[in-house]
Amino acid sequence: APSRAGLRSRRASVRAGASRVPAVAAADVDALPAELKKIIGAFQMVPDPMSRYKQLLFFAAKLKDFPEEARVDENKVPGCVSQVWVVPRIEDDKVYFVADSDSQLTKGLAALLVTGLSGATPKEIMAVEPDFVELLGLGQSLTPSRTNGFMNMLRLMQKKTLEAFMAAEAAKEEA
């Protein structure tokens, strides 16, 4: 069994690291779409979890209107406690998203992805690794189910990007 001193020391190191945003190799950040890098930088400038949480709510408020007819199961994020819908469109070989949610916090997470990924190429979007969320420093603010929902949003956006890209390529070949 671990000693009390060992447990205290481990707890202290966990607490000390809890508020720190993990450092990730510059190459990992460089691979992200430009807008997503800007968002990560903005979140890293915010000193405390409550302010980051408020920043998410600010993103939610900036999300554009979502078309009512797009609130269908095929656009719905699976495995999310809240209802979240995501729709991409490809324009000039770049992907643009719209999204919505019935929860303000989840809407903020969706808006973060919409803002960070819109205007990127399909290749850039497909290359985004889910662990970039650690760079945002939101770990303390999100429950495990919200973090899981955020990952599912990213996965669905990547899946829908691939589908939209394939459809756009097929349409080009037919033209």
Annotated catalytic residues are 80
Structural contact between residues 106 and 142, judged by C-beta atoms closer than 8 angstroms: no
For residue 98, the cross-strand partners are 87
- What's the CA angle centered on 39, arms 37 and 43, to 5 degrees? 115
Q: What residues contact residue 16 under an 8 Å CB cut-off, 6+ apart?
A: none
Structural contact between residues 103 and 50, judged by C-beta atoms closer than 8 angstroms: no
- Other CB atoms within 10 A of residue 80 CB: 22
